[in-house]
Amino acid sequence: MRRLSLLGAFVAGILSGCADLNLIPYPAEDVKYQIAPNRVPCPDRSHDNQPCLLVKRAEEPTWRAMNPYGLKSFTHEAGYRYVLVVRERFAPPNMTYNVIRILEKTPDPTIAIPGQP
């Protein structure tokens, strides 16, 4: 009987530690993103000298640079502003961004600047 209770305590201890090991998946979230018509040099220069996309999440007031390989299933065409539905998923230690659909693709001759509206 004592062995059974020790085994039960051991199993309970392992199961309670699962949350700490990130074994429980994080929920995905679908979010609207705007993509600027132009690209800019990446701040960290770690992307094969590819310029970064300028993106705004739906509620963000300003543009921010994003790794050009960060948006899966998307090809940027310069001179067009996009509105996308993007599925964000946190998969430790990374965040993944998959384009679900393109809602708008509008010709736009303006130039966006990181940190500006």
Decide if 12 is inside a domain.
no
Six-digit token pair at 2?
């004592």
Question: 65 near 42, Cβ under 8 Å?
Answer: yes
Decide if 43 is inside a domain.
yes
Question: Quick one: DSSP state of residue 61?
Answer: S
Decide if 79 is inside a domain.
yes
Instruction: Give Cβ neighbours of residue 86 (< 8 Å, ≥ 6 apart).
Output: 30, 31, 32, 33, 71, 97, 98, 99, 100
Domain membership of residue 86 as a residue range: 26-107
**pLDDT for the residue numbered 47:** 59
- Distance (Å, rounded) from C-alpha 115 to C-alpha 117? 7
pLDDT tens string for the chain (117 positions)? 555 454 444 444 444 444 445 556 788 999 999 999 999 988 876 656 789 999 999 889 999 999 888 899 999 999 999 999 999 999 888 889 999 999 999 999 999 988 888
Decide if 9 is inside a domain.
no
Decide if 15 is inside a domain.
no
Q: How many domains does the chain have?
A: 1
Decide if 81 is inside a domain.
yes
Decide if 68 is inside a domain.
yes
